[in-house]
Amino acid sequence: MIRRTRPVVGAIALLAALTAGIAFPAGAAAGEPTGESAPKVDLVLDVSGSMRAKDIDGQSRMAAAKQAFNEVLDATPEEVQLGIRTLGADYPGDDRKEGCKDTAQLYPVGPLDRTEAKTAVATLVPTGWTPIGPALLQAADDLDGGDGSKRIVLISDGEDTCAPLDPCEVAREIAAKGIGLTIDTLGLVPNAKLSRQLSCIAEATGGTYTSIEHQDELTDRVNELVDRAAEPVVTPVAVEGADACERAPELRSGLYTDRQEFGQQRWYRVDLLAGQELRASVSVAADRAVRPDHGILMRAVTLHGREIVRGEATGNGRTDVVSTGLRHPKPELDDDDSGKPAAETVCLGVTTSFSADAGVKTTPGLPLELTVDVVDGPDNASDVASYGLGRGWWLLGALVVTGFLAGLVWGWLSRWRVAVWRTN
| Higher pLDDT pick, 124 / 394 | 124
Q: Is the peptide bond before 364 cis (omega within 30 degrees of 0)?
A: yes
> Quick one: average pLDDT of 363-385?
72
**Amino acid sitting at position 389:** L
146 sits in the region (left: phi over 0; alpha: psi -120 to 50; else beta) called left
Q: Is the peptide bond before 249 cis (omega within 30 degrees of 0)?
A: no
> Chain centroid to CA 71: how far?
29
H/E run at residue 6: none
Which residues lie closer than 8 Å to 422 by C-beta, 6 or more apart? none
pLDDT band, residue 11 (cuts 50/70/90): very low
Model pLDDT for residues 168-200, shown as the tens digit of each residue: 999 988 887 767 789 999 999 878 888 889 988
Angstrom distance (rounded) from CA 267 to CA 377: 24
3-state secondary structure of 85: strand
The ranges assigned to domains in the chain are: 33-230, 237-384
pLDDT band, residue 413 (cuts 50/70/90): confident
Q: Which residue spans within 61-180 are E strands per DSSP? A: 81-87, 103-110, 150-156
Q: Supply the CATH classification number for the domain 33-230.
A: 3.40.50.410
Angstrom distance (rounded) from CA 64 to CA 195: 19
pLDDT band, residue 337 (cuts 50/70/90): low
Report the range of poorest mean pLDDT among 18-32, 66-80, 93-107, 128-142: 18-32
Residue 21 CB: number of other CB atoms within 10 A?
14
Please name which of 240, 255, 248, 292 lies closest in space to residue 271, comparing C-alpha atoms. 248
Report the percent of the chain where pLDDT is more than 70.
Answer: 80
Residues comprising the chain, all counted: 424
Model pLDDT for residues 103-123, shown as the tens digit of each residue: 999 999 999 999 999 999 999
> For the chain, what is the mean pLDDT?
81
Give the Å distances, CA to CA, from 311 to 73, 255, 256, 282, 307: 47, 18, 18, 10, 11
pLDDT band, residue 124 (cuts 50/70/90): very high
Angstrom distance (rounded) from CA 154 to CA 191: 16
Q: Are domains 33-230 and 237-384 of this chain identical in fold? A: no
**Amino acid sitting at position 295:** G
Q: DSSP string of 401-423? A: HHHHHHHHHHHHHHHHHHHHHHH
Residue 418 has a pLDDT of 67
pLDDT band, residue 289 (cuts 50/70/90): confident
Residue 25 has a pLDDT of 38
H/E run at residue 69: helix 61-75
Fold held by 237-384: Jelly Rolls (2.60.120)
pLDDT band, residue 94 (cuts 50/70/90): confident
> Chain centroid to CA 218: how far?
23
